Amino acid sequence: GQNIDQPTEMTATEGAIVQINCTYQTSGFNGLFWYQQHAGEAPTFLSYNVLDGLEEKGRFSSFLSRSKGYSYLLLKELQMKDSASYLCAVRSLSGNTPLVFGKGTRLSVIA
């Protein structure tokens, strides 16, 4: 089976840094994705990790530890527009299995 766990809600201050964690247990692992979804809109791709380590892309970074079944998304210099849900999704070893999504973390950025 597969299980993906993320915090339900987080609140952070404009200009600050926030880290959103994701832990997973899957039958095989072949990559982890982070998506951003604003209310009522479609998810948009943020990052992809398949090897251990940190991937940086502007204000957003994503980290993966395969041995620990753990990832985090780091958002720096928070802006009000970063208020959204952040979805962690895992791809299994089997190329025929679709992505499995976590329940998402709703981030509220406050002034």
The DSSP secondary structure of 99-111, one letter per residue, reads PEE---EEEEEE-
> Around Cβ 65, how many Cβ atoms within 10 Å?
13
Contact between 63 and another protein by CB under 8 A: the answer reads no
Half-sphere exposure of residue 56, counting CA atoms within 13 Å on the CB side? 3
Name residues contacting another protein, limited to 17-46 (CB under 8 A): 30-31, 33, 35, 40-45
Specify whether the CB–CB gap between 34 and 8 falls below 8 A: no
Does 107 bind another protein (CB under 8 A)? Our answer is no
The interface with another protein within residues 76-105 (CB under 8 A) comprises 87, 89, 91, 95-99, 101-104
Catalog residues that contact another protein under the rule CB under 8 A. Answer: 30-31, 33, 35, 40-45, 48, 87, 89, 91, 95-99, 101-104, 106
